Amino acid sequence: MSSAATDATQAPEKAGSSSASEQNKRSPSDFLKAVLGRPVNVRLSSGTDYRGVLACLDGYMNIAMEQTEEYVDGQLTSKYGDCFIRGNNVLYIASQRR
């Protein structure tokens, strides 16, 4: 999957040049592995926020969350024990690291 957009003739050159940046690189799939089971803030493109524990997700960014709080315009509006978010609505997933 990761080589789909890479021009085959450029691949050897790219492998050589990217080795330095490869160490501190963090791909989207690395991020998703790291945040599974952790508290996250999911922002939809509509501006609505969902905060809760990330239960699972897939390549479409479809998301299942637990202990979810819904924030519309920054105001807490609902709480859901479990909820599912269809991936096309997702603007970003933020970890609650700090």
Partner 1 sequence: MSNRILPLELIDKAIGSPIWILMRGRTELTGILRGFDDYVNLVLDDAVEYSPDPRDKSVVVRRELRAEILLNGNQVAVMVPGGTGPEDSMAARST
Task: Provide the binding-site residues for partner 1, judged by CB under 8 A.
Answer: 1-2, 4-5, 7, 10, 14, 18, 21, 24-32, 35, 41, 43, 45, 47, 61, 73-74, 87-88, 90-98
Pick between residue 26 and residue 81 the one whose CB is nearest to partner 1. Answer: 26
- CA within 13 Å, CB half, 84: 4
Pick between residue 79 and residue 88 the one whose CB is nearest to partner 1. Answer: 88
Pairing of strands 49-57, 39-44: antiparallel
CB of 34 to partner 1, least distance (A): 8
The DSSP 8-state label assigned to residue 71 in this structure reads E
* CA dist., res. 1 & res. 72, Å (int): 36
